[in-house]
Chain A
C-alpha cells in the first residue's frame, strides 16, 4: 500500500483552533504523525518582560479563552510568590471558587465540542446549555462573560456577595443532576463506546514519560493532582476526590473530565458554605525583588506553571508559562500510532487542545 502524508488542518473542524496535524498513512493506518503549531504565536512571554506586572495580567487571560480565569490566577499567583505576598483568607476562598467554576465551564465546553466531533449532535447542546449558567454567575461578579480580568496582585478586584454564593449552590446542584443525564446519554450509547473505548490508548509509563498531565494523565492510571499534592490557596481545606482511570483510552479521558465536573461542583458548594469574612484584597508591593519563583497549578488541561524572575523593579526579567496542552500535543503521535483515519478526530479532541495557550 502506498504511504503518504495527509494534513489535518490548519483549517479543519476537529482541530478546534489553528494547528496542523500531519499524519503519515499506509492505506488507512497511521504510521507516523507530526503536529505543527505556532500559527497563533504572539510572544506573550516577551511582552510580559516589557510591561508592569499589573499591565501584563490582562494579557495572560488571552492565553486560553476557555480557561482564562485559571490563567490570570496563575500569573498573579506567580507574581505574589515572587514578592512573597500572602493574600487574605477570603481572597483564597474566592479564588478557589471562581477557578473551580471556570474548570466546570471549560470541561462542559470540551464535552460539548468533543461529542460533536464524534457525531452526537444532541449532546453538543446540553453541556453548552449548562455552561451558560456558569457564565452568568461569573458575569455577575466580574461583569464579563469571556475575559474576566478578575484577580489582582494581593486578592480580587471585587468582593462576592451572598446572592452569588446562594446562586452558586443552586447551579452546582443542578449541574450535579445534569451530569447523570450526560452519563446516561453517553455511557449507554453503543456508538459512543465504539468510537472511544480502546481508541488512543497510552499506557501509564509512557504517559508519564511523555509529559502528559491533567485529566489525560489521570486517565492513564497516575493518581496525581497538584491541588492535592502541592496545595495552594484553600485547596488543603476543601474535601474532594481525584478521579483516576486505568484504561488510558479516549473513554477514560472523557470519564475523568466528567467526574472532575462533579468534584468541582462539590468544591464550589463547600466554598459557598464556608466562605470566611474579611478582606478580599490585601496589600501588595508594586515592585518585585531580583530573584525567581515558580508556581504550579492544576489547569483544566493539566499542569500549568508560571516561572517568573524579577528585575528589582516593576516588571519581570523573564516570564515563562508552561502550557499543559503544548506538551500534551507533543504526545499525540504516541496515541495515534496504529489507529485509523476515522479515529483521528476522537484522539485529537480527547486531550482538550486550546491553541491560545499552546502557541502563547
Chain B
C-alpha cells in the first residue's frame, strides 16, 4: 500500500521510535526466508506506545498475488504455533478492497497481520477457515457486509443480513435506498 495522502490540516501520522520486539524480528526473518518471492513485504512493526497497550506485531503483505496465502496460513499454524484467527477485516479503499487477517499465537503472543488486495468489481481471495475454524463466521460476515468472496470457504452464506438482501452495506458506495425501504 502506498503512503497515505494527508489532507491539509490533518494531524501527522504517529511515529514510533521504539524498536520492534526481538521475537517479532526473528519471526519476520523466518517468514522472509521461507516465503521468498511469495510474499511482497514482511515487517516487524514498531510498537506504538506501550502506555496505550503492549503489542507485538508482524505485518505480511501479499498485495494482489494471493495464491500462496492458504499454504502460508497452514505453515503459520503448524510450524509457528499460530492457533487463533482473531479477526478478519475488509476495507473498501474505493479503488480496491483490502482484506486483513489478524492471526494470534497463544504461546508467543505475537499478532501476524496478513494483508491482501482484491479487485473491487469481483473481490475474491482464499479462505483462512480451512486453517482455523474460527475464521469461518468472521469471513462469512465480511462476505455479507463487504461482498468479498472467499474461495474454498465451506459455508459461504450471509450471516447477519437476510438471505435475500441486495448489496453489501459496508461498501462506500452503498445506496441506502436500494434495499427496498418503504420510506
Q: What residues of chain A have their CB less than 8 Å away from a CB belonging to chain B?
A: 37-38, 41, 43, 45-46, 77, 80-81, 83-86, 206, 208-213, 222, 224, 229-232, 236, 285, 287-296, 303, 305, 307, 309, 312-313, 317-318, 320, 322, 326-327, 329-331, 334, 359-360
Bound CA span A68–B5, Å: 36
What is the 8 Å Cβ interface bit string for chain B, positions 47-86, against chain A (1 contact, 0 not)?
Answer: 0110111111000000000000000000000000001111
Chain B residues within 8 Å of chain A by Cβ, number: 45
Q: Which residue of B lies closest to A317 (CB)?
A: B91
Known: A84-B48, A86-B49, A312-B11. A211 touches B134 (CB 8 A): yes
Known: A45-B170, A287-B11. A303 touches B86 (CB 8 A): yes
Q: Which residues of B are found within 8 Å of A303, using beta-carbon distances?
A: 86
| The residue from B10, B52, B89, B169 contacting A84, defined by CB atoms under 8 A apart | B52
Judge whether B49 and A84 touch: CB under 8 Å: yes
| The residue from B10, B48, B161 contacting A41, defined by CB atoms under 8 A apart | B161
Judge whether B109 and A86 touch: CB under 8 Å: no
Judge whether A230 and B109 touch: CB under 8 Å: yes
Q: Which residues of A are found within 8 Å of B162, using beta-carbon distances?
A: 38
Q: Which residue of B lies closest to A321 (CB)?
A: B87
Q: Is the interface of B mostly helix, strand, loop or mixed?
A: loop
Judge whether B87 and A41 touch: CB under 8 Å: no
Distance from B100 Cβ to chain A, minimum over Cβ atoms (Å): 8
Bound CA span A271–B161, Å: 43
**Complex A-B: 7 CB contacts under 8 Å:** A38-B160, A206-B133, A209-B133, A209-B134, A211-B135, A229-B109, A230-B53
Q: Which residues of B are found within 8 Å of A210, using beta-carbon distances?
A: 133-134
Judge whether A309 and B91 touch: CB under 8 Å: yes
Judge whether A291 and B13 touch: CB under 8 Å: yes
| The residue from B51, B87, B160 contacting A360, defined by CB atoms under 8 A apart | B160
Bound CA span A222–B132, Å: 16
Distance from B67 Cβ to chain A, minimum over Cβ atoms (Å): 24
